[in-house]
A = this chain, B = another copy of it.
Amino acid sequence: MYLEKINNPEDIKTMDNNQLKILASEIRDALMNRLSKKGGHFGPNFGMVEAIIALHYVFNSPIDKIVYDVSHQSYPHKILTGRKDAYLYEEHFKDVSGYTNPEESKHDFFNIGHTSTSISLASGLAKARDLKKDKENVIAVIGDGSLSGGEALEGLDFASELESNFIIIVNDNDMSIAENHGGLYKNLKELRDSKGKTSCNLFKAMNLDYIYVEDGNNLEELIKTFKSVKDIDHPIVVHINTQKGKGYKIAEENKENWHWCMPFDIKTGKTKITSDFEDYGTLTANYLLEKMKNDEKVVTVVAGVPTNIGFTKEKREIAGKQFVDVGIAEEHAVAFVSGIAKNGGKPIFATHSSFMQRTYDQLSQDLCINKNPATILVNTASIYGMNDVTHLGIYDIAMMSNIPNLVYLAPTSKEEYFSMLDWSIEQNTYPVAIRIPCNGVISYKKTIDKDYSNLNKYKVEEKGSKIAILALGDFFQLGEEISSAIKKEIGITPTLINPRYITGIDKELLENLKKNHSVVITLEDGILEGGFGEKIARFYGITNMKVKNYGIKKGFYDRFIVEELLKENGISVEQILKDVKEMIK
């Protein structure tokens, strides 16, 4: 096996074409080994094996600097830069993250997990090089799916201003995570169809030089092209047409399902992890399909991640024109739903908490200043969400709940979630965001309110005394556990409150608590700083009420274990019980 002897990119520079082809095959085997057992990004990596070999064959990393957009295609790069063991041997799987990571290797320049960033980041490397009068090559790799993101388009527009060496590799596999959406993809198709020759060319319209590689999985062609642009004295786009999932027939034939995979059986492609549990994705899609069927004004919008709320290809087809995937374009999505709501439509936009960060200004300016009644679904907004440092779901409360006019709701059960969602879609007064629960689908038997227009009214689930527990959203069940423990261990029945509204304070209720409570604890599934609990602490600041806020200390946590992180932050029934005992002394 050649791969076993490759410890850094220098080791491939003496290989001939045949050897490199065998190496490509070995890299695919290594990818298959890891991905079939552990899961990860499949299609983009299989498609980029040859291009990444060619990059490392031609350029001199890390002097020459390669920046991979969103990192979905960076595994072969990791394999060639001293991290092959993490793909060859199960005991080393944990050595690497799923993203480029400067802590792992000097060949990685940024921690990247959000799309559309590579051109801008790499242009910064190039600018610093020019200031220092250095001469290395700077290469940004970006997939076609990422091109629709505002940051990528800003970067593409800026790139020609560099007037110095800058190579943008556009990895065009004719796919986003799902199919591509947007006008520029018609231009990419024209470019592919004309072998790069059509005169109307997005990249040239951005004042960039351009070169096309017809077979982006052909090593010789790639090496020849990369050699021709090496040490170039101006910015250029190298448009390569690769095949997503190349080398694994099942993935080649079903690109959307094989963008990312769970552990699977190599022979059949069937996933090894199945679940009979209900999930909020499927539940949300089914609810919205029914809603859309009954009201042509309801429209569901996503930005490149349709299945985040269960919209599989089949369900997208059923929804027809009432389902819009804007592509990776969260800023556009939020302004778009604001416009839809303004003109009498009933739009719902859903994406992950971490991606909602990409549209802060649109939430504030386009939506909330204008107070248009769109619904925003915030998904995986939880410590139980994704656990990569680039995809943390614990920042949305601090980010969104301080925007005026927004009503941000935290349901505590399946029934409450759908009741809030239904209210939000039908009301026409407020922009409303809802945190989709993330701690499993939990049913709640008590009566659930249907109308949430009386803003900031918290719900007292159990009346008690001395201690009040404000248990927000996903942490409501933790609140119930703590309540039970306090009853049992301290002999006091605490007041258990479901705050429901993240964006406001129930002053009347909080005032009333003063009468027969001396301790208030708040529980929130997000960072403490700028969050919900601090507002309660401020409210009681000049009173004798003792307030203790539970949540996560701000930090960029990577591949954390939920229970450990909770414990580090003092969030366990045991610890909280101990704290409460201290406070009521």
Contacts and interface: CB of A to CB of B under 8 A. Distances in A.
Interface of A: 65, 67, 102, 109-114, 117, 120-132, 148-151, 153-161, 181-184, 186-187, 199-202, 204-208, 296-297, 299, 321-322, 324, 326-327, 329, 331-332, 335-345, 347, 357-358, 360-362, 364-366, 368-370, 389-390, 395, 398-399, 401-405, 527-531, 533-535, 537-538, 540-542, 544, 546-549, 554-556, 583
Contacts of A299: 127, 131
B366 A120 contact: yes
Given A117-B365, A329-B154, A529 B401 contact: yes
Given A110-B370, A201-B205, A335 B150 contact: no
B364 A124 contact: no
Contacts of A110: 338-339, 342, 366, 370
A554 B369 CA distance: 12
B186 A339 contact: no
Contact of A404 (B160, B404, B556): B556
A128 B207 contact: no
Top 6 closest pairs, chain A to chain B, by CB: A124-B339, A150-B150, A183-B207, A120-B335, A128-B343, A128-B345
Contact of A128 (B155, B157, B340, B533): B340
A155 B343 contact: no
B184 A205 contact: yes
A424 B401 CA distance: 30
A114 B368 CA distance: 13
A160 to B, nearest CB: 4
B534 A538 contact: yes
Nearest to A356: B361
B404 A121 contact: no
Given A183-B161, A205-B201, A366 B404 contact: no
Given A150-B151, A336-B127, A362-B151, A186 B202 contact: no
Contacts of A395: 364, 402-403
B583 A402 contact: no
Contacts of A329: 154, 157-158
A200 B200 CA distance: 4
Contact of A534 (B332, B337, B534): B534
Q: Which interface residue of A131, A148, A297, A583 has the most chain B CB atoms within 10 A? A: A131
Nearest to A579: B542
Contact of A150 (B121, B149, B341, B534): B149
B207 A187 contact: yes
A183 B206 contact: yes
Given A124-B339, A331-B150, A343-B129, A369 B205 contact: no
A202 B321 CA distance: 27
Contacts of A201: 200, 205
Contacts of A357: 360-361, 364-365
**Which of A150, A199, A401, A544 has most chain B Cβ within 10 Å?**
A150
B546 A542 contact: yes
A150 B365 CA distance: 15
A556 B181 contact: no
A527 B389 CA distance: 28
A561 to B, nearest CB: 19
B402 A529 contact: yes
A370 B187 CA distance: 34
Contacts of A347: 124, 128
A124 B338 contact: yes
Nearest to A124: B339
Contacts of A161: 181-183, 324, 326
Contacts of A117: 335, 362, 365-366
A461 to B, nearest CB: 23
B200 A204 contact: yes
Given A65-B343, A117-B335, A158-B332, 12 more contacts: A110-B366, A120-B332, A125-B340, A127-B339, A128-B342, A128-B347, A132-B343, A149-B150, A200-B200, A398-B530, A404-B555, A405-B556
Nearest to A297: B131
Nearest to A391: B365
Contacts of A556: 368-369, 404-405
Nearest to A405: B556
Contacts of A206: 182-184, 187, 202
Contacts of A546: 541-542
A345 B481 CA distance: 52
A530 B528 contact: no
A466 to B, nearest CB: 15
B342 A125 contact: yes
A549 to B, nearest CB: 5
A158 B327 contact: yes
B158 A181 contact: yes
A199 to B, nearest CB: 4
A362 B110 CA distance: 12
Nearest to A374: B124
Contacts of A153: 150, 153-154, 157
A296 B133 CA distance: 10
A149 B153 CA distance: 8
16 contacts: A110-B366, A111-B369, A131-B345, A132-B297, A156-B183, A157-B183, A157-B184, A157-B327, A158-B329, A159-B183, A160-B186, A404-B555, A529-B535, A534-B538, A540-B541, A542-B548
